[in-house]
Amino acid sequence: SENCEVKLKIFKRLSELCRPDVCLASNTSSISITKIASVTSKPENVAGMHFMNPVPLMVLVEGIRGLQTSDQTFTKIKEFAEFLGKTWVEAKDMPGFAVNRILMPMINEAVYVLQEGIATAEGIDAAMKLGTNQPMGPLALADFIGLDTCLSIMKVLHEGFSDSKYRPCPLLAKYVEAGWLGCKSGRGFHVYTR
């Protein structure tokens, strides 16, 4: 879940249940590892692992070190990722880390292009696939990720940096309000049959 309050409750409870030497890792695409670690009794044992979707196909894992994450914890988490066959890229504990700091504004801008009527959803996706050699267009990717997740990440970026360039597109928020969440709901920027 990209719901910060849910993650904080889970990690607080895990901290109470686990042995003091257990490393805890959160798969998060934007929530601060330092903040998650702050609710535990051993913040030095907490790190972040941002897996890319679909996890079985994508080899990248962003490793995020919280402010108090120990070298020992970070090494253990990295070794675990490598054991899973993943390629590890370290990113700072900043909103969106590296991947979503770049990816989500691109998706958000594609939604603005749609909202402004510059191109259709199909046109935007075709242009980005054929013009920039991306495997899928930004709106299809947003549908795959989940529009609610995209909106949540954009809100974290906007709040974290207090910069209007990260302001979520109103059309993205409207789609989420309508329950158009992408592939998982059958409709997003494209329509999906189940």
CATH architecture type of domain 99-185:
Orthogonal Bundle (1.10)
CA distances from 101 to 70, 84, 104, 154, 187 (A): 25, 25, 6, 9, 25
Domain ranges of the chain: 4-91, 99-185
Note the helical H segments in the chain.
4-17, 33-37, 71-83, 99-115, 121-132, 138-145, 147-161, 170-177
Catalytic residue among 7, 50, 86, 101: 50
Q: What is the pLDDT along the chain (194 residues), one digit of tens a residue?
A: 578 899 999 999 999 999 999 999 999 988 999 999 999 999 999 999 999 988 898 999 999 999 999 999 999 999 999 999 999 999 999 999 999 999 999 999 999 999 999 999 999 999 999 999 999 999 999 999 999 999 999 999 999 999 999 999 999 999 999 999 999 999 999 999 87
Question: Is position 50 annotated as part of the catalytic site?
Answer: yes
Architecture of the domain delimited by 4-91 = 3-Layer(aba) Sandwich (3.40)
pLDDT (0 to 100) of residue 102: 96
Separation between Cα atoms, residue 123 and residue 190, nearest integer Å: 12
DSSP code for 187 = B
The pTM for the full model equals 0.89
